[in-house]
Amino acid sequence: MRDYNYELLPEIVKRWSPRGFSSQSVPEEYLWQLIDAARFAPSCFNEQPYRYVIFSTPEEVAYAKSHLMKGNQEWNDKVPAYIGILYHKTFQRNGKDNTWAAFDTGTSWGHLSLEAVHLGLVTHAMAGFERVAIREGLGISDEFEFITLVAVGYYANEEELAASNHVDEQPNTREPIDFFVFNRNGKKNNHI
């Protein structure tokens, strides 16, 4: 169980990354609504470096699944849709490296994940996939970094999970709030 120190937005409280997905399809309109929420993330110089790929047809979903690492393949058998998230590595305004692009794209992912909760969906962002192969197979330039592949769908009950994943099928705990904050001397509060 997660402990909250303050009353937070309901979408923040309800958001977690389950592995139990129903095979129920996600309306295409919902996938576009997720992108709409994500695109309104703030970004350095309003560069908006984030880009997305929607995988929703059976062929597209099979393509995305074929690029998952084995550990992720075990629980992704029923996932009905994916959204790939990429970012442009350089500023379009001057061609210099955009060292903020990953940060901005992470903020964009946060917007997407909270909008999913709002729509009654669950999401699970994954690092365990063949990022170069999936990008190249889609014909996307190496000017873009394929940062994550997000499973999108409706939550299924635990009985539908593979037995090996039952132990993980609950929201992860978080460290206490003061764990995350440095004091003015550069030391962590109460965790030195």
Q: Any idea what the Cα angle at residue 168 is, between residues 163 and 171, rounded to 5°? A: 145
CA distance 179 to 3: 14
Q: Name the band, by pLDDT with cuts 50, 70 and 90, for residue 188.
A: low
pLDDT value of position 162: 57
DSSP bridge partners of 17: none
Domain boundaries, the chain: 20-155
Question: What would the pLDDT profile of 68-110 be if each residue is shown by its tens digit?
Answer: 999 999 899 999 999 999 999 999 999 999 999 999 999 999 9
pLDDT value of position 181: 82
CA distance 120 to 25: 13
CA distance 150 to 84: 6
Q: Name the band, by pLDDT with cuts 50, 70 and 90, for residue 192.
A: very low
Residue appearing with tokens 């009950």: 157
Pick the CATH number of 20-155 from 3.40.109.10, 3.20.20.140, 3.90.550.10, 3.40.50.300: 3.40.109.10
pLDDT value of position 63: 98
Asked if residue 146 lies in contact with residue 132, where contact means CB atoms within 8 angstroms, the answer is: yes
Q: Name the band, by pLDDT with cuts 50, 70 and 90, for residue 16.
A: very high
Q: What is the CA radius of gyration of the chain?
A: 18
CA distance 119 to 81: 15
pLDDT value of position 167: 56
Nearest Cα to 75, choosing from 123, 21, 148, 149?
21
In this structure, what are the phi and psi dihedrals at residue 125, rounded to the nearest 5 degrees? -80, 135
pLDDT > 60? residue 4: yes
C-alpha torsion sign, points 7, 11, 16, 19: positive
Question: What would the pLDDT profile of 24-67 be if each residue is shown by its tens digit?
Answer: 999 999 999 999 999 999 999 999 999 999 999 999 999 999 99
CA distance 128 to 183: 35
When the pLDDT of each residue in the chain is averaged and rounded to a whole number, the result is: 91
